[in-house]
Every structure is written in C-alpha cells, then in structure tokens.
Structure 1
Amino acid sequence: MWDVTDRIFLGASRKPDDSFQEHEFMALRYANRHGLITGATGTGKTVSLQILAESFSNAGVPVFCADVKGDLSGIAAKGEAKDFLLARAETIKLDPYEFQEFPVIFWDLFGKKGHPIRTTISEMGPLLLSRLMNLSDAQEGILNIAFEIADDEGLLLLDLKDLRSLLVHLGENAKEISVRYGNIHSSSLGAIQRSLLVLEREGADFFFGEPALQISDLMRTTRDGLGAINVLAADKLMMNPRLYATFLLWLLSELFEELPEVGDPEKPKLVFFFDEAHLLFDEAPKILIERVEQVVRLIRSKGVGVFFVTQNPLDVPDTVLSQLGNRVQHALRAYTPREQKAVKVAAETFRPNPEFDCYEAITQLGVGEALVSTLEKKGVPGIVQRTLIRPPSSRLGPLKDDERAEIMKLSPVAGRYDETVDRESASEMLAEKAKKTAEVAERERLREEEEEREETGSRWTLPDFGDDDRKSRKSSSRKKSTKRRSNRQTVSEAAMKSLARSVSTQLGRALVRGILGGLKKALD
C-alpha cells in the first residue's frame, strides 16, 4: 500500500520525451476545495473515481459515491494481478503495487442492492420536492402553503401518504385557508396530486419514510483507521434521473446543515462524489442552481469535499465550476462546434504548461490518461500535467451477488434501516381530526332536532291518556260519521224513519200535556 501522510497519489506525469518521471499528488488539506472529473465515455473517469476513493479511505477519510453503471462495487474486493495493471504500475514506477479490499457500506433507495436509505417529506422540503415533481411556480406556492400549515398545526410529514392527506385537507378547506395563507386554486392542487401519483409509481415511496438516514452513518471509520466507502447502487435509480439528482442534492444539503464548522482541517471529514453531475443542472430553475452554488461554496468549511463527475465541463455552471480547485480532465472529442467549445473551456480552466498545448492534449489523451491540476501551497492551482493515472488496488468490475450479500450481512448498519417504521404522523392526525369533527357535527345535529321537537310540543304519552289520544279518537269519530252521511238511503228506510219521528213527536206532546195538567190541578 502506498504510504499516505498528507497527500494522495494520483499517477505519474509525462515528460516531453514521453517518459513518466514525476509523481503527481493531491494535498489532503486542499481536498475540501472540491474537484472535477470529466471526460468522454470510456476514457477512464470511473477508474479515476475509484483510485481517489481508495486513497481517501486509506487516509482515514470516509467517502460517498454513486455506482451508476454497477461496476464500482468491486472496490469492496481485493484486486487481481492482471498484466495491464502490472504494466501500468511499472510504467509509473509504483513500487510496491499491492492489492487491497476496502471497507464498503452498500446503500440502495429501493433496498435491493444495499441498505435502504430514506428521508422524510419534511426534511426534503418544498423546494426540492417541487424540483422532483417538476412543479410550476403556482404549484410550488401551494406546496409551500402546505408545509406552512403543517408547521403551524404540528403535523408531521414523513411519507407520501402524509403529504397526500395534507393536500386533501387543503382542498376540503380551501376557502378558509385561502383567507389566511393565500389563494389555493383547485386546478393547481389537482396538478400536484397527479404529480405525486406519478412520483409514487416511479418508486419514490421507497425513499420517503422512517427510519431516516443518520448522517453519522456515512462518516464511519474502521478500527484500523480506514474511512468507510459508501456506495449507492444507482443503476436502477438512473431510470429516474430527476429522483437521482434530487436525492444527491438533498444529501449534500443535509451535510451542509448538520455538520459543524471546522474551518480548513488537515484532511476532509467526508468526500462526496456526484457522478452524472449534469443531471443536477439540466433544466434546473435559477433558485435551485443558486442553492447548489451556495452549498458548494460554504460546505468546505464543514470539512466536506465535493467532486463532480461528468462528461463535459460545460455541464457544470460557471458559478460552480469556478469553485472546483482540483481537476482531472480525461480525453474529449472535438468534432462538433459544441464539443470544440467544451475542449476550449476545459483547456482555459487550467494553469498553462509551457511544455504542451492543453487544447491539443485533451483530444489526444489515451485511456487512463488525464490532464491533472491540483491545489498547491496557499491553495494556488498547480501547473497542469499530462498524467497517467495509477492502477487501482481493488477489483476492476462488479461484485457477484453472493459477495455483495455477505458484505451487507456484516455491515455496521445491518438491521438498522431494513424495517420501515410507520409512526403517527399527518395522515393519522388529520384522519383523527376529521373523525372528531364528524362526531361534533352529529352531536350538534341531534341537539338541534331535540330543540325542534320541544318547540313543537312533541312528547311521549301513555295509551288512552292525554291530548294526543283524545284528538285521535275525535278524528276517528268524525271520519266514521262522515262515512255514514255519505251512504244512500232506500225509500222504505226513509218512510220508516219519518213515521218514527212522527210517533215520537206525538208521544212527547202527550206526555208534556199530561204533566202540565197534573201540575195545574195541584195548584188549584
């Protein structure tokens, strides 16, 4: 293993006579001034990333990197003595050249090829969520209102169902909420809900939830002083480039917010490699690019070095590119006007070397060869050198599935993030609130009905007692009498009734006369 003190070994520089005599290094104390690795496909960017990760690990510096193509996982296994590797070591006078395996922790947002890695909706924040869902300004405004309401009402936003429940709450109470927080248009709210559904179908629901990632688990070192190399399985994740870029930016932001200020340490606390960096800036809104620029500028004081890995230096905005002090430039093609512009930009960012022309050299570099410029004393960029990158000590190529599984089994975070925790959060809290509101509404309805019955005099009575019963009997009697009067009479019935009335009248008169005659005699 190469002796590591205050610098890491990159390779050997080519002299005008094509010999490789001078070893090229990167000072550890300036590694937190960030860096850039660029080059066309197949020129050796991944190997450069691998040897840098190895060197930082040997120096006791933890590393985080994404395995975009799946072949970076071999860094966990000891390399093999292949002829072309031995020839490279001999050419650059790397003696001794030893093979080594490195302490690796595998991570995977989907929990398949590594330990699950999650965050909460609250930690992601409205800005990054808006970027993730590709929302318009109006829709982002509503999302900001949702987060503000969650803060005011103490609602925990942990996973996607919490956010969905909160959006439903906004829709049901849009009139009241608009008065206090601003207008909530149903069309914009519906667009957010549709974007949320798409996000869920793309697998983002695996990413949001608990237990959330603890930043300290990315900054581990072994008992013998090696820095852990955190490898994110990104081959499946790259099918959703926006999720990949947003996740890495979130992680970078978390490092910035959680780590304490340390100034300029003798070596970084963590080195972060952002592979396929162009995905971060493609169609990114101005406010997001400003956020990246701010984080890159200030995170160095937290002891974190950030290395962007991409094909073309034009992929990185000038405001960010100007902050990247350590450069490894592999070969670029210069056939189209844009490619020629990229070569020119790359050549102009180096401190010139009078021994060769940077523009021509970039187009002529072989595989595994690069123009290298690192920061020297007082942070001054060194003169660019045409450098043959050293061979890796770990395996070139991916691990087998059983090898990966064994490493995960022995991982220091095994079992910590494997099972999802679903504690009470906004979804449950809003459901409980809706239930209580419904119960209150039902009690109010019953109370109003009771008051209405009392006002109309409605009450319970015993059978055959009370006004209600008498009214019922009178009503029944009236109905019967009405029914009798409505029936037709025969002629005989009418005659008999007339005779009866006449007889009764005559008898009545006779009785009256008899009674009155008796009274008169008694008086006389």
Structure 2
Amino acid sequence: MAEDQGVFVGGGGEGYGEAQELLLKYGNRHGLIAGATGTGKTVTLQILAESFSAQGVPVFLSDVKGDLSGIAKSGSESFKLHDAFTSRAEKIGFTDYSYDAFPVTFWDLYGEQGHPIRTTVLEMGPLLLSRLMALSDAQEGVLNIAFRVSDEEGLPLLDLKDLQSLLVWVGENADTLSLRYGNVSKSSVGAIQRALLVLENQGGAQLFGEPALALSDILRVDPDGRGRVSILAADKLMGSPKLYATFLLWLLSELFEELPEIGNPDKPKLVFFFDEAHLLFDDAPKALVDKVEQVARLIRSKGVGVYFVTQNPDDVPEDILSQLGNRVQHALRAFTARDQKALRMAAETYRANPRFDIEDAIKEVGTGEAVTSFLIDKGAPGIAERTLIRPPSSQLGPILPEERAAIIANSPIAGKYESILDRESAFEMLSRRAEDAAKEAEEAERLEEEAKLRAAEEKEAEKRRKELERELSKARRYETKEYGRSTSRRAKKDDGMGAVVTNLLIKELKGTTGRRIVRGILGGIFRAR
C-alpha cells in the first residue's frame, strides 16, 4: 500500500481550498466531526464510513437518527438530489464518483432492528456499571466488593439476575464481609438493587447475557476486500442516554484490552464513530473521564481510530480534544456569549490559513460545507481549509424495514446471537446453595422433633415403670402381712393379689410402655421360630 493512500473527503472550487484527503496511515490518530444540528455531520459520517470500507477498513458506528441504514443500499439516479450530487462531484474534482452499496451488519441492543448485541456483567466491570447506575462512592465500593466475592467464590456474573442474587448474598453476609473488605452497608446494597431495577426497566437486562459479542464480528472484511460497516440501531437506545454512552465506552475498552499492539499500521484495523459524544462526558466522574482519555491515548497503537461526533468541540474534554488530529468542523451558531467563546476556542485549535479567518469561516459555511484539517507528513496538522464535502455513494436516508430484514437474514452471522444462552452462573449456584441450606435446616428440625418425641416417650415409660414398681411393692407388703393365716384365707388373699397384678398389667399394656413390651415379646417369639 502506498504511504500516501487516503480517503477523499472533499475539495475546493472557486473560493475553496485544495482537495482534502484523510491519509489512511493516520486514520488511527482519531478525529472530530462537529457542527450545529442540520449542518451535515451525518452525511460526513456516512461518506467517511463508505470511504474507509472501500479501503478495506471495518467501521463501527451508531445510527442515532435512524437514517444511516442507507449505507447498505446504492444511491440512485432517481434520487431528487442526483443532479446536485453529480454537480458537486464535478466541482470538487471527484472524477470517479459513482453510486454503490456497502457491506453492512445491523446490530440492536433490543434485537429488533439488528442482531442482538450483548456483553456480560463481568466484562462490563464495576466502574462502568457504577457510571451506568449513577452510584455514589460508597455504593461503588460495595459493588467492587461484590465483584471480588464473585471472583473468590467462583460465581460467574453473566446477566443482571446473577448480580442481583449475589447482592442478596452480600447483604445477608454483610457483617462477615465487612471484617474482610471494609464496611458493607445493607442500605448501600439496597440502593444498588433499586438502581438495577431501574436499569432493567430501561432495557438494560437485554444488554447483559450470552452469547456475548465476539469482537471479531465487528472486525470483518468481506471476500471482496471491503470492510464491513457495523451499524448499531440507537434511535430507541437514545431514550436511555447513559446506557448508550456506557455501552459504547465498554466496547472501546474491550477493543483496547483485547487487540494486540500493532504500532503504526498502513491503515486502521477499525474505525469507531462515537455519535452524540457529549453524552459520554455529561456529569461524568473524573475516574471515567480519565478512563476515556487513557483509552483514546493508547488505543491508536492497537490500530483503532476513534472519531467523536458532537455539536460543539467543547463537549469533549480538552485533554481528549488535543488527541483528535483529523477534524471536520461544520457550522457553529454563536447566539450566546458561551457560543461565541466556544466558537473562538474551536477556531484557535486549527492551523491558521492566511487566506481566510477561521472563526468567520466556521460561522459562514453552509450545509454540506466544513472547515477541515487532516494530519499530513509526520503527523503534523494540516492547514485549515474551507471544504465542500463529497456526496455519498450510498443511499441518503434509511432503507425500508423489509430491506433491512433481508440484509439481517443474509448476514454472515445470522443466527449466532439470536438465541439466548443461559448457562450455570451465580444465580443458579446461589439458588442451589440456598436450597441445600433449606433442606439441611429442614432435616435438622425433623431430627430435633424426633429426639424430643423419643425423650417424652422415655420419660413417660420411666414414670409408668415407677408406678408399677410401687404397686408391686404394695402387693408384696400385703402378702407378707397376711402370711400365716389359713390356707383357704391365704388362697383368697392370693387371688386378690393376682387380681391387682393382672389389673396393673392390663393397664400397662394399654399404654405406650405396654405397646413396647408387646412388640418386644412378639418380636422375640417370631425370631425364635
């Protein structure tokens, strides 16, 4: 590959500068697409995605407004802007402009407009989950303890019910855990459970589970050499902005963790577009901003270029903004003092062009125009230029639902993620532990009741034995007192004594002890036989 190979972004014409290319070897140096609503950011995103795909670079982007699905379908001469597109192509010197469709894989967190896309609770990690649920520092600490317990106890955290059941266990064992890890407040556990319930109601439960996304499926290159464009349906997801931002940040983090170092490649391994980027930084704690900065700084060595798409450059923290070398600045509207300050700051970040005032140009460019600056030799920022953005080759606007459904059905990963896999994890393991503990408690209670019953029977038997001994003793004393009288009289008394003994035996045989005696006698007889 030639070192200076790049993607054509736009060009000049009268009143404009030279043709603008984004060099592929600097495509992983990150970028910014900024501008007010309606100034052409989405079209710029579309033509960059097309160009990277054509050069064999996979792309991942989110479709916030639902109109980027057109990348999967070729543009048409019957389109109402066909004449305007061809005229602009001629004006900017885009001589090989033609209509074309690009290989697309549709994804959807909810599984409605694309293949389901999931991760596990463990892969998301406590930091991003805390951000997602807006937890306090104390609650984040308890969540970190839960993850540590999961690791030490061998309790995999795959979906939300795993985390919910583990938190119940943590609450039940809070005193013991507090001695090992520090204070585990049951009120913090309860607050996390409530936040999980809110997340579940927002559809977060569908994000967590298996099969989890395999990164190789967003790094695909088709047999014809074009990179696949992965489009995440985000129009519904935007109803839960924290879920949207956290998911994309997780995906970036996974790419950073999993991909090998490749130094300075001839072209990116993946280009990642983060639309509505301000959502990532709104009310974000410093730890999270530091995480984003770290990922942005180091992930380029993994061959991944990250392009933030937002309305105003000051939506992006300065430390991160300074790393974005490829820039497309559409018009900014300076209606307030804050807007004017932001406009001035945006203009100051560009390399000056003596032919025009950058601040004025940013205010004046129309729809489909921009002030651009791309990295040139040795990674230095190029001079700012007023640029007419090239027209897209694919369809401008969304495709029909049936067309989307056909593309999903014929996707190379069709059927891979549609069926949920629910293997044994923390929920099942803790449920089994609870069942075993309940059975043990039930068995212990049964044995205790039997022991009490035996003790009561033995006590009753002892009482009856003593009564029998007393009655027999009375009978002997009576017999001794009457000894020596006439034989007939003694016989009569003996009859009386026999009656007493007989009555006692009958009485005993009716009781519990008697039944035991009978069982013992009968048992002996049958054994003898």
> Which TM-score bucket, shorter chain as reference?
0.7 to 0.9
C-alpha distance in structure 1 between counterparts of 2:345 and 2:49, whole Å: 27
Q: Tell me, what secondary structure is at the counterpart of 2:19?
A: strand
Cα offset, 1:182, TM superposition: 1.6
Q: Alpha carbon RMSD of aligned pairs, Å?
A: 2.3
Q: Determine which structure has more spread, i.e. the larger CA radius of gyration.
A: 1
442-451 or 168-177, larger mean C-alpha shift: 442-451
Which segments of 5 or more consecutive residues in structure 2 lack a partner in the other structure? 472-488, 490-529
Find the counterpart in structure 1 of residue 24 from structure 2: 28
After the TM superposition, which residues 234-383 of structure 1 pair with which residues of structure 2 at under 5 Å, given as runs? 234-383=234-383
Contact persistence 1:73–1:399 (CA under 8 A): yes
Cα offset, 1:440, TM superposition: 2.8
Find the counterpart in structure 2 of residue 508 from structure 1: none
93-102 or 150-159, larger mean C-alpha shift: 93-102
C-alpha distance in structure 2 between counterparts of 1:470 and 1:230, whole Å: 89
Contact persistence 1:34–1:325 (CA under 8 A): yes
Cα offset, 1:436, TM superposition: 1.7
Amino acid at match of 2:32: L
Find the counterpart in structure 2 of residue 145 from structure 1: 145
Find the counterpart in structure 1 of residue 413 from structure 2: 413
C-alpha distance in structure 2 between counterparts of 1:368 and 1:54, whole Å: 16
C-alpha distance in structure 1 between counterparts of 2:220 and 2:300, whole Å: 19
After the TM superposition, which residues 348-497 of structure 1 pair with which residues of structure 2 at under 5 Å, given as runs? 348-448=348-448, 456=455, 458-459=457-458, 467=462, 469-470=464-465
Cα offset, 1:324, TM superposition: 0.4
Cα offset, 1:457, TM superposition: 7.5
Q: Deviations over 1:409-461 (max 9, x none)?
A: 1101100000111111100000111122223333444455566667x574499
C-alpha distance in structure 1 between counterparts of 2:3 and 2:218, whole Å: 22
Contact persistence 2:18–2:385 (CA under 8 A): no
TM-score (norm 2): 0.85
Cα offset, 1:94, TM superposition: 1.5
After the TM superposition, which residues 145-224 of structure 1 pair with which residues of structure 2 at under 5 Å, given as runs? 145-224=145-224
Contact persistence 1:5–1:59 (CA under 8 A): no
| Residues matched between the structures, number | 469
Structure-2 change in CA distance of 1:218 and 1:337 (3 Å)? same
Amino acid at match of 1:23: A
TM-score (norm 1): 0.86
C-alpha distance in structure 1 between counterparts of 2:23 and 2:60, whole Å: 19
Cα offset, 1:173, TM superposition: 1.4
Contact persistence 2:8–2:22 (CA under 8 A): yes
Contact persistence 1:70–1:235 (CA under 8 A): yes
Q: Tell me, what secondary structure is at the counterpart of 2:362?
A: helix
Find the counterpart in structure 1 of residue 71 from structure 2: 75
C-alpha distance in structure 1 between counterparts of 2:218 and 2:27, whole Å: 18
Amino acid at match of 2:193: Q
Q: Tell me, what secondary structure is at the counterpart of 1:158?
A: coil
Q: Tell me, what secondary structure is at the counterpart of 1:83?
A: helix
C-alpha distance in structure 2 between counterparts of 1:294 and 1:22, whole Å: 35
Q: Deviations over 1:64-110 (max 9, x none)?
A: 00000000110000012312111211211211321000000000000
Amino acid at match of 2:269: K
C-alpha distance in structure 2 between counterparts of 1:355 and 1:223, whole Å: 45
Contact persistence 2:275–2:309 (CA under 8 A): yes
Cα offset, 1:335, TM superposition: 1.5
Cα offset, 1:255, TM superposition: 0.3
Contact persistence 2:6–2:23 (CA under 8 A): yes
Find the counterpart in structure 1 of residue 526 from structure 2: none
Q: Tell me, what secondary structure is at the counterpart of 1:105?
A: strand
Amino acid at match of 1:397: G
Q: Tell me, what secondary structure is at the counterpart of 1:41?
A: coil
C-alpha distance in structure 1 between counterparts of 2:17 and 2:345, whole Å: 28
Cα offset, 1:4, TM superposition: 12
C-alpha distance in structure 2 between counterparts of 1:100 and 1:475, whole Å: 113
Contact persistence 1:4–1:58 (CA under 8 A): no
Cα offset, 1:63, TM superposition: 0.1
C-alpha distance in structure 2 between counterparts of 1:9 and 1:231, whole Å: 22
380-389 or 184-193, larger mean C-alpha shift: 184-193
Find the counterpart in structure 1 of residue 482 from structure 2: none
Structure-2 change in CA distance of 1:450 and 1:373 (3 Å)? same
C-alpha distance in structure 2 between counterparts of 1:5 and 1:350, whole Å: 22
Contact persistence 1:297–1:323 (CA under 8 A): yes
C-alpha distance in structure 2 between counterparts of 1:134 and 1:473, whole Å: 78
C-alpha distance in structure 2 between counterparts of 1:85 and 1:474, whole Å: 119
C-alpha distance in structure 2 between counterparts of 1:39 and 1:80, whole Å: 28
Q: Tell me, what secondary structure is at the counterpart of 2:8?
A: strand
Contact persistence 2:52–2:227 (CA under 8 A): yes
Find the counterpart in structure 1 of residue 11 from structure 2: 12
Find the counterpart in structure 2 of residue 489 from structure 1: none
Q: Tell me, what secondary structure is at the counterpart of 1:64?
A: strand
C-alpha distance in structure 1 between counterparts of 2:452 and 2:236, whole Å: 65
C-alpha distance in structure 1 between counterparts of 2:313 and 2:469, whole Å: 102
Contact persistence 2:327–2:372 (CA under 8 A): yes
Contact persistence 2:326–2:375 (CA under 8 A): yes
C-alpha distance in structure 1 between counterparts of 2:447 and 2:262, whole Å: 66
Choose from 42, 49, 52 the match for 1:46. 42
Q: Deviations over 1:144-168 (max 9, x none)?
A: 1100100000001011111110111
Contact persistence 2:17–2:385 (CA under 8 A): no
C-alpha distance in structure 1 between counterparts of 2:245 and 2:411, whole Å: 26
Contact persistence 1:4–1:59 (CA under 8 A): no
Choose from 52, 59, 62 the match for 2:58. 62
Contact persistence 1:39–1:329 (CA under 8 A): yes
C-alpha distance in structure 2 between counterparts of 1:460 and 1:25, whole Å: 100
Structure-2 change in CA distance of 1:435 and 1:350 (3 Å)? same
Contact persistence 2:12–2:91 (CA under 8 A): no
Q: Tell me, what secondary structure is at the counterpart of 1:213?
A: coil
Amino acid at match of 2:11: A
Amino acid at match of 1:350: Y
Cα offset, 1:34, TM superposition: 0.3
C-alpha distance in structure 2 between counterparts of 1:436 and 1:275, whole Å: 50
C-alpha distance in structure 2 between counterparts of 1:472 and 1:224, whole Å: 104
Find the counterpart in structure 2 of residue 495 from structure 1: none
Find the counterpart in structure 1 of residue 481 from structure 2: none
Structure-2 change in CA distance of 1:86 and 1:472 (3 Å)? farther
185-194 or 306-315, larger mean C-alpha shift: 185-194
Amino acid at match of 1:405: A
Q: Tell me, what secondary structure is at the counterpart of 2:199?
A: helix
